[in-house]
Amino acid sequence: MSNNKELTAAQRMIGDFLPKIVELTDDVLFGDIWERKELSPRDRSLITVSNLITSGNTEQLGFHLRKAKENGISEEELKEVFIHLAFYAGWPKSMSAIMVAKEVFSKDS
């Protein structure tokens, strides 16, 4: 990995452990899928955050909450997503995700 540019999130997390996953994450997922014009980055963030909450996959939620804010979703809107999904995804999944959001939002303040 080159020292000439800032490392991507995938490079920081995975490094040289599994370079193919880093390449697919950077080039395909964020270089292609996230850049498609059919959905706005804001919409993609709402979909991704909602999916992480409903599937109970909170490990990547912090990253995607920050990305959602970068993509124009307010903290209040994100909090409303948690309330809404508590009834569709289940209380435990929502509560686990809320704990991640609470930590992320407190660091952002």
Domains detected in the chain: 1-36 (no CATH), 40-108 (1.20.1290.10)
Task: Name the pTM for this structure.
Answer: 0.88
Q: Residue 3: what are its φ and ψ, rounded to 5°?
A: -90, -5
* pLDDT tens profile 10-39: 999 998 999 999 999 999 999 999 999 999
Contact between 39 and 50 (Cβ < 8 Å) = no
Question: What's the pLDDT score for residue 1?
Answer: 45
The span from the CA of 102 to the CA of 2, in Å, is 35
Question: What's the pLDDT score for residue 3?
Answer: 52
Residue from 60, 73, 74, 75 nearest 30 by CA: 60
pLDDT-derived band at 5, boundaries 50, 70, 90: confident
Give the single-character DSSP code of 8. P
* pLDDT tens profile 37-87: 999 999 999 999 999 999 999 999 999 999 999 999 999 999 999 999 999
